[in-house]
Structure 1
């Protein structure tokens, strides 16, 4: 309010002076239009210049007395919020310690911290260097100073206040000091963050260490993301490998039996079998359109129906809106395979498998329901399917008869965890009428 009152007073004084000079002191008095124009121009000049006048000359806060940051002696006002600003931004190193990410991070940090040059290295080479000295501190080349390797080898921040301490291999290097802190992933040192000086004031050691800690946290998250992606790829490969060899042998036997009596049907089955394995092996990425997964399921069903004949019936209830939504690859077919192998195949008279899919635009989810009227799942098996060792051993109904189903369902569940976190739902139930119902709900993509 005080600043606004000063500005308003200044504008009133300007208009009073303009009126007095143009209307009272000048003879004859100026016309109204020039008088108003002069007043407006002077008022605009005062309003625009007022913030700069209040701030004072540029650089005044860097030369005069500096308020000290609590806990960090000598910290500059601009440094006080640097860590907070960095925490609230998307840091390029979040994608990993790469040359491109390092350069963009240096360019991000340079305005946020007092220092003439910023450098990020790995354990051997300079990944990025921005500022004076870039003519010989080049990206991709070995570190030119001995201070950065010391920070990495000792695992401690190095504060150097003279050129001799830096020990740059370039005799005419203009750098005169530096603060260099190691970057870590866990307890492993993976590089360094260096702030170098030619003329600017040396930044506080604690500030550079805080910056390095923040960057280390982003590197740890990038490392975790990479491990998570590798685990997700491994689970997808496991699902591909789980295509039951018995299924292949049974289909080949079926084709062989039809080769003499029904050669055209045998040829058609061979083509479908090749399409089945081509999709399972060559599908890239973790998501595919539901229409592609649906075609894959129908190919699988057509092969199984050639073996079971009338013992296997299938009913499809697919909302057309689902066809263009994207779902995790190789997720629906294993659920249908479990229904056929462990529900219908074990039932002497056979049965029916139903596949239902719906899109809910309100909750933005896709729901897939696979049900059968087969023999159902033993309650003991159902309670152990998602436990640490359920369905992978033991005696009776928990043994080899459901081992493949249990491992497959757990692989699907773990892969969905990696892809969606807690934003999906996978449930298994055994209705009183018999059979098994598996329902999967995933976010709409």
Structure 2
């Protein structure tokens, strides 16, 4: 038996003992059975109702009288859908305080960053205005000292407004790592602060969501930076060679020269203006075909291309500027150095069972040196870049046979898919190189 229940049983025994003593011993003549039982029952009911036992639970706010599981259920649900997952913005803070107000046992809830109130709901919203500086010194003190402050009365709250209805509060910091970025405040209109532990637990949950939002933002910035790097890596020698080809065609075949200029314009327009990180495969396919048509104008019959594209792939979404650099590697480091030229093959399939898109770029060119292939295989998930290799064109930082932006592509795929993709580079039987890419279906 629990201590609270045992104590209550002892109180009831004492009550009935007193009833018996008074009604049967001290009173003459003794009372009958019915009045005695009625008196004992009334006193027992009063003892049970007035006693904060383990059966009834301690008296307190109505939210605290609910079972722990019932109180934690909405908090856990709120944690899974917390608006601050998108970052510490005014709109996210407003939706968060509206969600938290009925859960935290407060009359008003506020979120502020280091400079201003981002959201405030409840009594006092007429002067605790969104966009303005915090009206209480408590918030600034919490952010500065990086610890929770419990305010038991209005004097401690120190609100600048003389008619503020708020009387008590718990204000706790919101942090991203070790950096305090704001504060969560839960206020009441009477001098009985909200439960500190509950407010701090919720602040910890909000801080975790803010950290995840910060990681998402950094990952997006990194992905954008790598996409910009891929755009910048469009080989200038490719441009010069194509322009030389167009100049020579202008003398012998002006119409073909004009068509090549239009294709070159389409090529750079797509590379520079493509917005976002994903595009339909059909768009990337058109981009690759445009690139290869320009290279075929330069290499002539030495460059042959074969396409094997499943029609289902055309509507899937793939990372932009990912396939073309793989094809450019095959041209530059496989076919260009082979006197008789060779064939490049582009194959794409959708696997509905594994929900993946598979892309293969292969060539029958000169192939990669074993040491370069080993280095790329070890570093394709973000390994160290080559230290001193250069391409045949004398471009530093790109391994001969190692490729245009392969490391950049791999790091970008890491940021977009994590571990949910595969990129492999293997020698082709009979000579050449095979690059296989498998990404989640989108």
Q: Does residue 86 in structure 1 map to residue 75 in structure 2?
A: yes
Matches within 5 A, 1:18-417: 66=58, 76-78=64-66, 80=68, 85-88=74-77, 89-199=80-190, 201-385=192-376, 386-387=378-379, 388-394=383-389, 402=399, 405-406=402-403, 408-417=405-414
- Structure 1, unpaired ranges of 5+: 1-56, 69-73
Equivalent pair of 2:368/2:402 in contact (CA under 8 Å): no
Give the structure 2 partner of residue 420 of structure 1. 417
Deviation, structure 1 residue 147: 0.9
- 2:432 is aligned to 435
**Superposed CA offset, 1:113-135 (max 9, x none):** 11111000001111001111111
1:47 corresponds to which residue?
none
Please report how far the alpha carbon of residue 394 of structure 1 lies from its aligned counterpart in structure 2 after TM superposition.
Answer: 4.5
TM-score, structure 2 normalization: 0.81
Contact 2:57/2:65 (<8 A) preserved? no
Query: Where do 5+ consecutive residues of structure 2 fail to align?
Result: 1-48
Contact 1:392 1:406 in 2 (8 A): no
- Per the alignment, do residues 78 and 133 of structure 1 end up closer, same or farther by CA in structure 2, a change over 3 Å counting? farther
3-state SS, counterpart of residue 440 of structure 1: strand
Distance of aligned partners of 1:396 and 1:316 in 2 relative to their CA distance in 1, 3 Å threshold: closer
Distance 1:154 1:407, change over 3 A: farther
Whether the aligned pair in 1 keeps the contact of 2:356 and 2:439 (CA below 8 Å) is: yes
Residues 392, 403 of structure 1: 8 Å contact kept: no
**Number of corresponding residues:** 380
Structure 1 stretch 262-271 or stretch 74-83: which is displaced more? 74-83
Contact 1:279-1:296 at 8 Å conserved across structures:
yes
Deviations 1:85-129 (A, max 9, x none): 434421100100001111111111111111111000001111001
TM-score (norm 1): 0.81
CA contact (8 A) 1:354 1:372 kept: yes
In structure 2, relative to structure 1, the CA distance for the partners of 1:297 and 1:121 (3 Å cut) is same
Taking the aligned partners of 1:236 and 1:364, their CA distance within structure 2 comes to 25
Per-residue CA distance 1:343-382 (angstroms, 9 max, x = gap): 0001111000000111112222111110000011111101
Distance across 1 between alignment mates of 2:179 and 2:67: 28
Q: Check whether the contact 2:333–2:400 (CA below 8 A) recurs between aligned residues.
A: no
Which deviates the most, 220-229 or 156-165? 156-165
Q: For 1:283-311, what per-residue CA distance to the aligned partner results, in whole angstroms no more than 9, with x for missing partners?
A: 00111111111110010001001110111
Paired position in structure 2 for 1:17: none
The 3 A distance-change label for structure 1 pair 372 and 404 is closer
CA, structure 1 residues 247+91, in 2 after alignment: closer, same or farther (shift >3 Å)? same
User: Alpha carbon RMSD of aligned pairs, Å?
Assistant: 2.5
